[in-house]
Amino acid sequence: MRPLKRSMIAVIISGVLFVLFLDNMYYANVMNFSLLAGMTMGALIAVISTNLTKGTLRSAFLGGVLLLLCISITIPNLTYDQASELVQNNYPGQILNAGFSKKVPIKDGEFTLIMPRSFYLFSLEHDEGTQQYIVNPNTGKIALLH
């Protein structure tokens, strides 16, 4: 395999690992990777199976721009910390995270390539007890869990 192909494969894999790191650090693993996974697999297959010429390099550049666009539209509007602040500003109490999951999967029957398939989960302790709230990472809408 030629060095340029190896470099392109390394860049693609590094980019995916970077997005996974961002999702873990800032978005509590709520990002939907369906579109990104398909685009990444397509890009890897294209790089491995083609001969590199000026035309294919141009296509690879456009593919990279398309991958960046896919990443930008799948990133939720709110990070976990921003959602936490939103809950604290709207409801009294102390947020408890120890022993609780940071997200809750949603099952609404719809398939989507872009929208997150999980909501952020927060438990608030106040005088009357503990309440759990979920926050939609795209809209910021808060709902009380019963």
Please state the rounded mean pLDDT for residues 28-52.
82
pLDDT at 135 over 90: yes
Q: Cα(93)–Cα(21) distance, rounded to whole angstroms?
A: 30
Greater confidence (122 vs 117) lies with 122
For the chain, the structural domain boundaries read 3-74, 80-145
pLDDT at 24 over 60: yes
Q: How confident is the model at residue 57 (pLDDT cuts 50, 70, 90)?
A: confident
Q: How confident is the model at residue 99 (pLDDT cuts 50, 70, 90)?
A: very low
Handedness of CA 111, 114, 115, 116 (dihedral sign): positive
